[in-house]
Structure 1
């Protein structure tokens, strides 16, 4: 286990003692996932998001709020995100894993916004289907 995860575990051990084993497992997997990005994918994603951030900067400069859902699976995040994404002034992507881009690789706000935008577009093109469930909202 790497040093980052060990430090986080020690710092939050007193908080985790009172939680369920499922929550503890989620927390440790979340820390591990936030540290891992495939190097080849990361280079491509970094360059693509840098260009996207530059290309869409006039839109991204106007963003006032950022929303991120963090939690265990099967708790309704996808449904809430799909409902919010139907609003014409909102863009919510599903399963981006933004923390790893912010935490480990220091992506800029513009790069994160671009990844959210592209993730939402890909999700919409796929019919907003996740694990066999459709989160599509008609006429949106």
Structure 2
């Protein structure tokens, strides 16, 4: 369940997806797309790639389970809320610099996402009702 191999695959996929997002964003901006549109497009492609790669490569699941897609989408939204809370209210309350709050987010989100994926998103057919 918590194998070193799975954690390594998860981290590798995460690094690849981060590189994909940055590369797409920069390529789109260099070709004249506005920052908001470049970000939205690159983010969408990165999220789709993350779902597909984490499902098949990391968690050995088929990509045909609508319940997984819904749970994954909710996990992404929860991650957005987490990042907002860390970089907003918590940073303000604790007088954290933007660097510290963003690095904290970059540490917390992968751990949070792994836990969600391990025990909720990619649990096979257990989530079907």
After TM superposition, the score normalised by the length of structure 1 is 0.30
> Which of 1 and 2 has greater Rg?
1
**When you count helix as a share of all residues, which structure comes out higher?**
2
TM-score w.r.t. the length of structure 2 is: 0.31
